Amino acid sequence: MSTLYTQQGKNVRRTWFLMAMFLVIVVAVGYFISYYYGNPLILVIAVIFALVMNVASYWYSDKISLSMAHAVPADRDASPTQAELFRVVENLSITAGLPMPRLYIINDPAPNAFATGRDKNHAAVAVTSGLLGMMDKNELSGVLAHELSHIGNRDTLLQTVVVVLVGFIAIMANIFTRSMWLGGGRGRGRGNNNGEGEAGAIIAVVGIIFVILSPIIAQLIQLAISRKREFLADTDGALLTRYPEGLASALEKISAYGRPMATANNATAHLYISNPFGAGAVKGIAKLFMTHPPTEERIAILRGMGENRVGAIK
């Protein structure tokens, strides 16, 4: 069975691969835009921005994610619920063999939580005020064990890098499509004869399609990463607490709440333990673009783990 640390190496390799793919996509988009507008400087700027964003996503993605969530540092003396938060995280961190992460509070009645940070020594866990007020100790332990599992497996590095990189690709594509409607580039009709003109037109059409689809490609990469990571964190979190029912019950309460978070954002949605837009936000074809696996399936797997454990004891 999977343990807390089995995914560390894989996730580091996936992160470097993702950053390389991001560089390739940005350079390709930059090349086409520079061709379309007949300005090689655009490609140079795109490459520089890609390199800068790769560095920024590695070093500062945790700060960016916490800022987007409007998270503030937790205070052990602020309330009994925050004191309990510190006690639970300290005990779980010792059990998991992890340094104590920084703790943050999101002032939001919707129950939810996420972990962020490039490694276990620079990790942070943010929970909503609604989660602290709604969960009993076993449920809170299940949620926090799930988030610590993300830290132990270095999912946080992979997931928070995605926040910055996917967002930047979407911004690039949006700027180009808006400028294209406001004023055409020179690339579409380049060439001194019909053959060159036709080739330029074909390149322009292919490039436009690629630029428009690039945010969707980036989003699909994001979804493929986040869904699998949630199943693994559920399993590892249950192994850490040795009580799968705690997380299963917490997921039931989170799902039953239904209403979206005030700070819900597409760029950071995959970080949370549950969809921050609420269960009712995902309907029809939108299910194809879910950042999380179905809650019912996650609960069934966790309760199956609990039944197997009881059977083994008997």
Q: Has residue 3 been placed in a domain?
A: no
Query: What pLDDT score does 254 carry?
Result: 94
Query: What pLDDT score does 93 carry?
Result: 96
Of 10-19, 24-33, 140-149, the poorest mean pLDDT is in: 10-19
Pair 132, 250 in one domain: yes
How deeply is 177 buried, as exposed, middle or buried, from its count of CB atoms within 10 A (0-12, 13-18, 19+)? middle
pLDDT range class, residue 251, cuts 50, 70, 90: very high
C-alpha distance from residue 301 to each of 150, 230, 231, 236, 298 (Å)? 18, 12, 9, 12, 5
Look up the CATH number of the domain holding residue 259: 3.30.2010.10
Pair 186, 137 in one domain: no
d(CA 107, CA 99): 25
Q: How many structural domains does the chain have?
A: 2
104 forms beta bridges with 73, 126
- The pLDDT mean for the chain works out to 79
Phi-psi region of 203 (alpha: psi -120 to 50; beta: other; left: phi over 0): alpha
Q: What is the pLDDT of residues 39-80, one digit of tens each?
A: 888 778 877 877 787 777 778 878 988 999 999 999 999 999
Pair 305, 196 in one domain: no
Query: What pLDDT score does 15 carry?
Result: 67
- Alpha carbon 32 to its chain centroid, in Å, reads 28
Pair 92, 47 in one domain: no
Among 171, 188, 212, the domain-final residue is 212
Query: What pLDDT score does 12 carry?
Result: 65
Pair 183, 195 in one domain: yes
Those residues with Cβ within 8 angstroms of residue 52's Cβ, 6 or more apart along the chain or in another chain: none
Number of Cβ within a 10 Å radius of residue 218? 22
Mean pLDDT confidence for 108-132: 94
Is residue 281 within 8 A of residue 272, CB to CB? The reply is no
pTM for this prediction: 0.76
Among 179, 212, 245, the domain-final residue is 212
How deeply is 115 buried, as exposed, middle or buried, from its count of CB atoms within 10 A (0-12, 13-18, 19+)? buried
Q: Has residue 219 been placed in a domain?
A: no
Q: Which range marks the domain in which residue 183 is found?
A: 8-66+158-212
Q: Is the model more confident about 197 or about 314?
A: 197
Which are the catalytic amino acids?
Answer: 147
Q: What is the pLDDT of residues 286-299, one digit of tens each?
A: 455 566 788 899 99
Pair 54, 125 in one domain: no
Q: What is the pLDDT of residues 204-250, one digit of tens each?
A: 666 667 666 666 766 666 666 666 778 888 989 999 999 999 999 99
Pair 148, 250 in one domain: yes
Q: Has residue 2 been placed in a domain?
A: no
Of 22-26, 113-117, 127-131, 239-243, the poorest mean pLDDT is in: 22-26
pLDDT range class, residue 140, cuts 50, 70, 90: very high
**Is pLDDT above 90 for 6?**
no
71 forms beta bridges with 106
Pair 234, 128 in one domain: yes
Phi, psi of 32 (to 5 degrees): -65, -45
**Is pLDDT above 70 for 264?**
yes
Q: Is the model more confident about 64 or about 169?
A: 64
**Is pLDDT above 70 for 180?**
no
Query: What pLDDT score does 312 carry?
Result: 43
Q: Has residue 218 been placed in a domain?
A: no
Query: What pLDDT score does 185 carry?
Result: 53
* Among candidate residues 114, 116, 160, the one with its CA nearest the CA of residue 15: 160
Query: What pLDDT score does 56 carry?
Result: 77
Pair 135, 245 in one domain: yes
